[in-house]
Amino acid sequence: MLAIAKSARSSHERELVNWSLAETGGHMQVLGVGREGDIATQAQIDIDVTASGPTNGALGFRKGLRVNGIKRSAIDFVGNLNIVFFEADDLEIIHGSPGRRRRYLDILISQSNPAYLKSLQRYGQVVTQRNQLLRRIRDGLSEENELAFWDERFAYEGARVTDSRRRAVDGLNEHAVPAHSELSHGDDLELAYRPRITASSTDQPNVGLMTTEMIEQEMKRTLHGLRRREIAQGISVIGPHRDDLDIRLNDNPAGSFASRGQARTIALSLKLAEAVFVTRSTGRTPVLALDDILSELDPERRQLVLEAATRHEQVLLTATETGIVPSDFLESADVYTVMNGRVTQDAIANGSKND
């Protein structure tokens, strides 16, 4: 939450409120401090809940964001603390929908480039307004010439989102491919960005050879040719909201052919590459948070994963049992047990506990 201003697991933040707080009302806070050299950054999320009323059952919910005590918008909050987070649901990057892979890219880029998040939000607003206008034109309530303004905005913002995603995938390829090869004993991973800037879903120009302005002009030409189709369907049929990230394992689509263990290895490789990408983009070292990464991996691969993870400056690793973590790693770690809502520090690290 402190990295992206919202929960990574819940689509509706009201789901974070427990039942007792919903019934009585109250305040909850998430706060963390990051340090990079001599610079400390405090990120804080405050949520005030008004108890649901006896008549309509509505839950009052107000969220405030602060950085070093100063109120910030969500756009200005994201990226002040950098955290690369792995969880079991990240396997959906491989097996899930294109929207899940777009979300992965958007979170990655937003943590390292605040301007991207602004462009992405503006693009989303343009798509919404343009789609409404397309439907109004189809229903005879607006004129076709009203699209000119929204076409300009659509191509301008869409080109910037497309170019940022292309650059991000290039960066991921540079680091994810060798990381995956190391973790998998030589399996071949390939990442390819699949933008939608022309009408064909299979024959897209190579955006790697195009400037942002060239992408913008190509999108404008495509929109002009798609006018009748878009009005009939009432939707924008090209643009970054239809992009995908193609992930291939040994030259086969990973979503169809990768086992859960292979998908977990791919997802971890992406996260390790993400950490390097964020570091190079911001000059700050992110925290690497790995939630239950070792389950479903054989002992040899667990060892490889831990060796790769511990090359990073700060790693938070969760496991359901200490026995799954090799003893040599436990001896050099600070170990905490979470049970029944209580956190206690164990003595494994200094050798007084061996289980």
Q: Is the pLDDT of residue 153 over 90?
A: yes
Q: For residue 252, how many C-alpha atoms fall within 13 Å in the half-sphere facing its CB?
A: 11
pLDDT given for residue 49 in this prediction: 81
Q: C-alpha distances in angstroms, 271 versus 83, 144, 199? A: 10, 45, 32
Q: How far apart are CA 294 and CA 181, in angstroms?
A: 18
Q: Torsion angle, CA of 14/18/23/29, rounded to 10 degrees?
A: -70
Each residue's pLDDT tens digit, 185-216: 889 999 999 999 998 878 889 999 999 999 99
pLDDT given for residue 127 in this prediction: 98
Which among 119, 134, 99, 116 has a CA at the least distance from the CA of 241? 99
Instruction: Write down the H helix ranges in 73-211.
Output: 74-77, 92-95, 98-112, 114-138, 147-184
Each residue's pLDDT tens digit, 268-279: 999 999 999 988
Q: C-alpha distances in angstroms, 98 versus 57, 60, 102, 306? A: 36, 34, 6, 29
Residue 254 vs residue 38, higher pLDDT = 254
Each residue's pLDDT tens digit, 56-99: 556 677 889 999 999 998 888 888 888 888 888 899 999 999 99
What residue ranges do the domains of the chain occupy?
1-80, 92-284
Output the six-digit token pair for 326: 């090799």
Three-class secondary structure of residue 70 per DSSP: strand
Residue 350 vs residue 9, higher pLDDT = 9
Q: Fold for domain 92-284?
A: Glutathione S-transferase Yfyf (Class Pi); Chain A, domain 2 (1.20.1050)
pLDDT given for residue 347 in this prediction: 66
Output the six-digit token pair for 11: 């689509």
Q: How far apart are CA 292 and CA 329, in angstroms?
A: 15
User: Poorest-confidence range of 21-30, 234-243, 271-280?
Assistant: 21-30
Output the six-digit token pair for 140: 């005879």
Residue 2 pLDDT class (50, 70, 90 cuts): confident
Q: Is the pLDDT of residue 307 over 80?
A: yes
Q: For residue 98, how many C-alpha atoms fall within 13 Å in the half-sphere facing its CB?
A: 12
What is the mean predicted confidence (pLDDT) over 249-256?
A: 96
Q: Is the pLDDT of residue 55 over 90?
A: no
Q: How far apart are CA 332 and CA 19, in angstroms?
A: 39
Output the six-digit token pair for 181: 């090869």
Q: Is the separation of the CB atoms in 320 and 295 below 8 Å? A: yes
Q: How far apart are CA 47 and CA 12, in angstroms?
A: 13
